Structures are given as C-alpha cells and as structure tokens.
C-alpha cells in the first residue's frame, strides 16, 4: 500500500492495481500501485511521494557559505587572501573531499 495526497486544486486520477482511483483536492488515499505507476504519478507533481517508496534524499552538497563557516581561523585567513580563481578552486576541492 502507498499513500498519495493530491496537492492540486482539482481531482486527479491514479492508475492503481484495481483500476482508476480519483483523488479529490487535498485528499489522501492509501492504494496498491505498481512501482512504475507510482513513479509516473510522482513526476506529475500533483501528488506527494508514496510513503513506502519514498527514498532518502541524497546528502546535499554543502553551500560555499557552509564550507567557509566550517573553516578554522587559520584556514579562513588563508582563504581570504586568495583571488577569485583561487577561492573557487579551494571551494571545489573542499566539496570534492
């Protein structure tokens, strides 16, 4: 079973294993649905991700500000002395690490 919530202003349909199920605006349904149909429904942007198939989001890449904030005082001082190209390379190296 998978739960879907319709986040649109009007009714939408889900192709479940037992047939077409209409989901009213704001309604949540618990349905049997194939993996392919669940992926298709998710791609529309109309529904929430099915709870049983929700994947953990991959770790997000840190922002430049987060990298700079995490630097030691000595590393921040060295970073501040770099030109723009040097700063870009420094940040790219930190993200790759």
Point out which residues pair with 31 in neighbouring strands.
2
Encode pLDDT of 6-34 as tens digits: 888 899 999 999 999 999 988 999 999 99
Encode pLDDT of 32-54 as tens digits: 999 999 888 888 888 865 454 44
Confidence at residue 26, expressed as pLDDT on a 0 to 100 scale? 87
44-53, 63-72, 81-90: segment of lowest average pLDDT: 44-53
Residue with tokens 């739960």: 3
Confidence at residue 55, expressed as pLDDT on a 0 to 100 scale? 52
Phi and psi of 41, rounded to 5°?
-65, -40
Confidence at residue 56, expressed as pLDDT on a 0 to 100 scale? 53
The secondary structure of 30-71 as a DSSP string is EE---HHHHHHHHHHTSBPPPGGGPPPPPPPPPPHHHHHHTS
Domain boundaries, the chain: 2-48, 64-96
């Amino acid at each position: 079973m998978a739960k879907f919530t319709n986040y649109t202003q009007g009714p939408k349909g889900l192709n479940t294993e037992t047939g077409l199920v209409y989901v009213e605006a704001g309604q949540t349904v618990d349905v049997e649905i194939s993996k392919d149909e669940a992926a298709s429904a998710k791609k529309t942007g109309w529904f929430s991700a099915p709870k049983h198939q929700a994947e953990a989001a991959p770790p997000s890449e840190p922002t430049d500000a987060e990298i700079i904030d995490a630097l030691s005082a000595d590393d921040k001082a060295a970073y501040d002395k770099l030109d723009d190209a040097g700063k870009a390379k420094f940040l790219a190296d930190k993200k790759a690490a």
